Structure 1
Amino acid sequence: MKTIINIAVAIIILIIQSNQGFAQDSRTRIKGMIEPYNVGISYDKTINLIFPYSIKSVDRGSADILVQKAAGIENVLQVKAAVEDFQPTNLTIITSEGALYSFSLRYQGNPAFLNLKIADLDIPSVPIVQFGHEMEYESQLKEISQRISSKQGFLNKIKDEGNDMAFSLEGIYIKDDQLYFQFSIENNSLIGYDIEQFRLFLRDSKKTKRSANQEVEIEPTYTAGNIQRIDGKSKQTVVAAVKKFTIPDKKHVTVEILEHNGGRRLELKIKNKTILKAKSI
C-alpha cells in the first residue's frame, strides 16, 4: 500500500513539474518578438537613420540621447549622444507604413557607421501598427507615386530649357480623385542646382492693365522625388499628387522651380486640354 502511495505521489509531482516546465516554456518562447537592432552612437558625431517611409513617431529611452528629423525631410532621423559614456538605452520609431523599428543604443566613441539605410538592414519591417485613415492614405499616395516615377512619359511638348537646365512635364495620371503630375528635371551643367522653391499655382492667362495677376497656390498632397537638389550632370523624376481639378477659362497652371542663391529659374505652363489627357493608373 505504501508503495502504491509513493508511486501516486511521484506521478503527481511529475505532472506538476511538467506543467510548470510547459508554462515556463510558454513564457520564454514569445512569438512575434521584435529584436532591437544594435547601433553605436557618440557625442561628437551624428548618426543618420534613413527609413523607407516617413517617420511618424519617435520615442527615446533616455534624455542622454538627442534625436531630430533632418530639416525638411520626413524619413531621416539624426541621432547623437547628449553625454559621453551614457548607459545603454533604446530607441523606438514608427513609420507611415505602420512598421515599428526597435534600436538598442550604446556609446561608441568612433561609430562604425554614420549612415544606416534601414531598408537594407536585417531589421523586421512588417506593418504591425494600425493608423487612422490619414496614414493609410499617405502610404497609398507614396506607392502610386513610386509606380509613376518608373513609367515612360507620354507628353513631350511642355518643357522649359535654359542655362544647361531642362524642366518638363512627362505625364499626368489620375486615380481615386488624385491627379499625379510626373516631372523631369535635368541638370546638364557641372554646377549643382539647389531648389529653393517648387510651386504649383493657378494663374490668369492674361493680365489686364487695371487688375493684378491673380494666383492661387495648389498644395500637393504628396511629393515623391528629390526636390532639394539636382546634382551636376544628373536627372531627377518628381511626382506631385494633388486633388483633382480642371482649369477655368482664361487660366492655366504654372509650375515653377527657383534656384537658391542662383539665377536659373524654370517654369511650365499647363492648360486645361493637357489636364484632360490624364491617364488612369
Structure 2
Amino acid sequence: MRHIYLIFFIIGFFDVMFGQTDTIQVSKDYKTILVLPEPFSFSINGKDLNFIESFPKSTSEKAAHIVMLAYNDVAPVKQDYTNYTLYTKDGMAYDFILDLVAIPETKRWKISKNMADNFSESHLPINHSDGTDAEIIKIEEIALPNDIETLANDGGENFKITPLSTSLYDEDRIAYLEQKCENHISDKGNIARYFSKVGDVFIWLKGVYYDREELYFLFTLENKEPIDLDINFLKSFIGTNYKQSNSNQKSEFQPLYRYGQPTRVKGNTSASFVLIFEKFTLDRNKHLVLELDELNGNRNISLDIEHGLINRPKKFGK
C-alpha cells in the first residue's frame, strides 16, 4: 500500500511541477479552430510544414482571436505530432501538443487565460475527469470533410460562419505544388528509356503524372562529360508533329511552376527537376518540346514528348 501511495505522490508531483500539456487533435480533412481570449500575436510550431496554421480572411476584431489548424494533405505520414506554442498580444503563452488523427474529437476549442503557461494561477487542463470544465465548445455542423469554417464579422454582435476549403492547395497553391514535388522528386519514374542527347549529355523524361488540375513532368539532366554544363535557358513549346514537313511550327508554352531546375550540372553528375503545367491534352499532330540551350557552348538538346504520354499520365503514388 505504501508503494501505491508513493506512485500517486510522484505522479502528482510531476503534474504540479511541470503541468499538463493539452493535446489538440488535427487532421487532413478538417480544420481545428482555436478561439483565443486575446488577439493572436505569433506562434512556434515544431513542424510547420506538416501542421498548417491559417487565419480567417476577415479583418474584424473577433477574427483576430481565431487560429485554424490542419495537417498538410500531401504529407505521406499517417501518424505525427509536434509541439505548438502560441502567444497572444497580452504576452500570454499557451503550450500544446498537436496530434495527427483521422477525425478530431473536438473541432473547436475555446482557450481561456488560465490555460496560459505564464498565467498567475495554476494551469487548468481543458479536459477534467470530473466534468467541471465547460471550456470546450463543439459544433457538429463543421464535421464535414473539406468543408470547414472560418469566422467573419456580420456587422453586429455575432459571427457568421462561412465555408472555406481545408486543403493547402486552396490556401497556398504554390506551396502545395512545391510540397508535392519535394515528396516525389526521387521517384524512379513511370517511363522507360525516353531521352534525347548531344554527345554524352542526356535529358531523360522519367515520368508524367497528374494531380488535381496540374500535370507534372519529371526530368533528369545527366552530364556524363567531364566539363560542367552551364544552362543558358530551358524552354518548353507546343509544336506540330507533321513528319518531313516544312510547315512545322511551335509556340512557347510556359510551365506553371519549376521545381529544382538547375542552372549548372557539373561534369559526371546529374540533376532531377520537375516542370508543372496546367492540365492539357494534345492531338496526335502535336507534341510538347523541351529545349535546352548551353551558355557559351553548343551542347543544345531538344526533347520531343509525344501526345500519348501527355494524354495518359499516371496518378502520383501509383
Matched, 1:230 2:244: no
Task: Give the count of matched residue pairs.
Answer: 154
Q: TM-score, normalised by structure 1?
A: 0.50
CA distance in 2, matches of 1:262, 1:223: 24
For the residue of structure 2 that corresponds to 1:141, the secondary structure is: helix
Q: Assess if the C-alpha contact under 8 Å between 2:282 and 2:311 holds in 1.
A: no
Using the TM superposition, give the Cα deviation of residue 207 of structure 1 relative to its aligned residue in structure 2, in angstroms.
Answer: 6.6
Matched, 1:242 2:277: yes
Q: Aligned-residue CA RMSD in angstroms?
A: 2.5
Using the TM superposition, give the Cα deviation of residue 140 of structure 1 relative to its aligned residue in structure 2, in angstroms.
Answer: 0.6
For the residue of structure 1 that corresponds to 2:172, the secondary structure is: helix
Q: TM-score, normalised by structure 2?
A: 0.45
Unmatched segments (≥5 aa) in structure 1: 1-29, 35-131
Using the TM superposition, give the Cα deviation of residue 275 of structure 1 relative to its aligned residue in structure 2, in angstroms.
Answer: 1.3
For the residue of structure 2 that corresponds to 1:145, the secondary structure is: helix
Using the TM superposition, give the Cα deviation of residue 256 of structure 1 relative to its aligned residue in structure 2, in angstroms.
Answer: 1.2
Q: Which of 172, 175, 198 is 2:211 aligned to?
A: 175
Q: Assess if the C-alpha contact under 8 Å between 2:261 and 2:274 holds in 1.
A: no
Q: Which of 237, 246, 254 is 1:219 aligned to?
A: 254
Q: Which of 173, 176, 186 is 1:140 aligned to?
A: 176
Q: Assess if the C-alpha contact under 8 Å between 1:158 and 1:269 holds in 2.
A: no
Seq. identity, %: 27
Distance 1:153 1:33, change over 3 A: closer
For the residue of structure 1 that corresponds to 2:221, the secondary structure is: strand
Distance 1:205 1:31, change over 3 A: closer
Q: Assess if the C-alpha contact under 8 Å between 1:145 and 1:241 holds in 2.
A: no
Superimposed CA distance per residue, residues 102-129 of structure 1 (whole angstroms, 9 cap, x where no aligned partner): xxxxxxxxxxxxxxxxxxxxxxxxxxxx
Q: Assess if the C-alpha contact under 8 Å between 1:160 and 1:267 holds in 2.
A: yes
User: Who is 2:238 aligned against?
Assistant: 202
CA distance in 2, matches of 1:173, 1:192: 30
Using the TM superposition, give the Cα deviation of residue 159 of structure 1 relative to its aligned residue in structure 2, in angstroms.
Answer: 0.5
Matched, 1:268 2:313: no
For the residue of structure 1 that corresponds to 2:182, the secondary structure is: helix
Q: Assess if the C-alpha contact under 8 Å between 2:287 and 2:304 holds in 1.
A: yes
Q: Which of 166, 170, 189 is 1:153 aligned to?
A: 189
Using the TM superposition, give the Cα deviation of residue 161 of structure 1 relative to its aligned residue in structure 2, in angstroms.
Answer: 2.0
Superimposed CA distance per residue, residues 133-157 of structure 1 (whole angstroms, 9 cap, x where no aligned partner): 8870110110111122121112113
In the TM superposition, 1:20-39 aligns within 5 A as: 32=42
User: Who is 1:186 aligned against?
Assistant: 222
CA distance in 1, matches of 2:171, 2:204: 31
Unmatched segments (≥5 aa) in structure 2: 1-39, 45-167
For the residue of structure 2 that corresponds to 1:138, the secondary structure is: helix
For the residue of structure 2 that corresponds to 1:157, the secondary structure is: coil
Q: Which of 193, 196, 199 is 1:163 aligned to?
A: 199
Using the TM superposition, give the Cα deviation of residue 273 of structure 1 relative to its aligned residue in structure 2, in angstroms.
Answer: 1.1
Using the TM superposition, give the Cα deviation of residue 166 of structure 1 relative to its aligned residue in structure 2, in angstroms.
Answer: 1.1
Read off the aligned partner of 2:290 and give its amino acid letter.
Answer: V
